[in-house]
Structure 1
Amino acid sequence: MKIQLNEKLSISKLVIGCMRMNDWNLSVKQTVEFIEWCIERGITTFDHADIYGGDHRNEALFGEALQMQPSLRENIQIVTKCAIAVPNAKNPNIKTRFFNTDKQYVLEQVNDSLDKLNCGYVDLLLIHMFDLLIDPGELNETLQQLKSEGKVNYFGLSNHSPLEFDTLQKYTDIKFVTHQFMLNPLGIQNYQNGTMTHCLKEGISPMIWSPLAGGRLFKAANPADEKMKNVLQNIRQELNLEHLDEVVYKWIFKHASNPAIVLGTGNKERIERALTSLEGPQMTREQWYKILIEAGYTLW
């Protein structure tokens, strides 16, 4: 259940995404118990961002649990992200959302994340989006400083194109160990634009967010979504699986880049279903391609 991102850092194949943690309505004690429950099942990686919940709110909720039970920290990997500036109480002069990889801004955001998380370092920092005004040399200085100060162990990117990834890597002395981006049967652009193949080229395991398309696969609110749901249901029956989401997870996991999946839920039943997808029958190539073709991929 572990994915080795480099010689020293491994993450769990299933990652708990904390974007909606403020909606889970958990007390601090319940959050501690939830983290412990995940660890017992081999899910040890938790994905954050400075903007989740608004102005580090969800990092703070998680940090309260670490403050109550400090021993949790040594058993988990914390991922966080920055580079999206949004209007909030901390930045009252910001009126428009934009991307910011300015050195001072990134350092401030990481320091605030560490403060809210109640920990001295994060295992992995991702640049959340590609900043068109980025100074790659300055970014290199920023990452080097965070590394030398012991605040961040490893680095990666999120939601970048292959060209954007390669451009930043060219000017950065620190190797990016992962790339986080969206992929699901209703959104295959990262197959179409070569991002998944780029992961193979770079020898990195991606972190996949929104695997269930935000629930659209279950709602099937339009004819195209309904057709995809029917394809998934047929494959579910062929594989003798109980739930539709198990089919989707197996489809994502089949790629040779060895992806991790970021689960955007605190629902234990849904998490258990994701765990089930790691075992049992594997999807055939034909079944895998049926889903890809239904999603709109042209083979030739």
Structure 2
Amino acid sequence: MKKIELGKSGLEVPAIALGCMSMNKRTKAEAEKVISNAIENGVNFFDHADIYGKGVSEEIFAHAFPSEVRREDIIIQSKTGIRDGYYDFSKEHIITSAEDSLRRLKTDYLDVFLLHRPDALMEPEEVAEAFSELHKSGKVRHFGVSNHNSMQIELLQKYMKQDIVTNQLQLSVTDSGMMNQGLYVNTLYEQASDRDGSILDYSRLNDITIQAWSPFRHGFFEGLFVDNEDYPALNTELQQLADKYNVNKSAIAVAWILRHPAKIQTIIGTMTPSRLTNIVEASNVELTRQEWYKLWQTAGNKLL
């Protein structure tokens, strides 16, 4: 498994991580197989959030965690900030949420803790105080954000003592807006619109690792593009590359993300061990520039 450093944390993490959003739908025995298989494939990074299954996904993970695996040999990440009908970055909620996740996960610390979605009422001083308390107590080692733009990160970082090491963002070959904006610079095409403060370049300049979520979906949870008849050209190209590199189409879709020099970490949400085993083959695929651009174009983008 290809390894990357997570931001400036010093943590060496796999290029592919397991997203545990759907773990609440698995039995303890099924979840144990998922976790064990992931670790066997070099995927020792597990992404959680307090809202996944209303906390049940974290509980199932803890109950199913293989006894022979040491806590220090895996990396656990969780997120906070989304509540029932509103967002909450208050100091009290951040600390309480982290402590609740620790309790559910049956661990003494989180390796990484993220703010899940931007809170319009965020008071960065409060966030900084919460992070400092969690860090000082040893309950959280590193911090990050999810779905934030560059200026939101700048505002947070102004008050934080710790580095923001990651930003989890939606990214796939069909939803590549953060890349498109840079490719369509100085044109009247809609793709030239800067909606995120050039987050891709900003992250590279500031050593923040982007974590890609929904690498197989088009739109906002509108469906999968792999084997989707609405994307015939893309699937034809995915299959040709899959045949060339002796992997499946999903692995090629992930390889497209991993090929970018920003060293993006991809979050895979499958709870099927065999599917994860096939997808991690992406780590061994190095697409050429021509192949990367051809996939991007068959996904519906036009090269100027």
TM-score by length of 1: 0.86
Partner-residue secondary structure (3-state), 2:260: coil
Per the alignment, residue 134 of structure 1 pairs with 122
AA paired with 1:203? D
- Closer/same/farther in 2, CA of residues 269 and 189 from structure 1, 3 Å limit: same
- Closer/same/farther in 2, CA of residues 236 and 33 from structure 1, 3 Å limit: closer
Partner-residue secondary structure (3-state), 1:186: coil
How much has 1:121 moved relative to structure 2? 0.8
- Closer/same/farther in 2, CA of residues 13 and 107 from structure 1, 3 Å limit: same
Distance in 2 between residues matched to 1:152 and 1:285, nearest whole Å: 39
2:107 to 98, 119, 123: 119
Residue 287 of structure 2 corresponds to residue 288 of structure 1: no
How much has 1:172 moved relative to structure 2? 1.7
Per the alignment, residue 190 of structure 2 pairs with none
| Equivalent residues in 2 for 1:61-80, closer than 5 Å | 61-66=60-65, 69=67, 71-80=69-78
Contact preservation (8 Å) 1:17, 1:263: yes
Distance in 1 between residues matched to 2:150 and 2:246, nearest whole Å: 35
Contact preservation (8 Å) 1:228, 1:291: yes
Partner-residue secondary structure (3-state), 2:134: helix
| RMSD of Structure 2 on Structure 1 (CA) | 2.1
Partner-residue secondary structure (3-state), 1:262: strand
Contact preservation (8 Å) 1:182, 1:190: no
1:230 to 226, 231, 236: 236
Per the alignment, residue 198 of structure 1 pairs with 202
Runs of 5+ consecutive residues of structure 1 not aligned to the other structure? 87-96
Distance in 1 between residues matched to 2:131 and 2:38, nearest whole Å: 30
Partner-residue secondary structure (3-state), 1:79: strand
Partner-residue secondary structure (3-state), 2:17: strand
Percent identity (aligned): 29
How much has 1:176 moved relative to structure 2? 0.6
Residue 213 of structure 2 corresponds to residue 209 of structure 1: yes
Distance in 1 between residues matched to 2:64 and 2:241, nearest whole Å: 40
Q: Which contiguous aligned blocks of 4+ residues in structure 1 show a shift greater than 4 angstroms? A: 296-300
Distance in 2 between residues matched to 1:38 and 1:83, nearest whole Å: 27
Q: Which has the higher contact order (CA 8 A, sep 6+)?
A: 2
Partner-residue secondary structure (3-state), 1:278: helix
TM-score by length of 2: 0.85
Contact preservation (8 Å) 1:188, 1:295: no
- Closer/same/farther in 2, CA of residues 297 and 173 from structure 1, 3 Å limit: farther
1:105 to 93, 97, 101: 93
Per the alignment, residue 256 of structure 1 pairs with 261
Runs of 5+ consecutive residues of structure 2 not aligned to the other structure? 182-193
How much has 1:195 moved relative to structure 2? 2.2
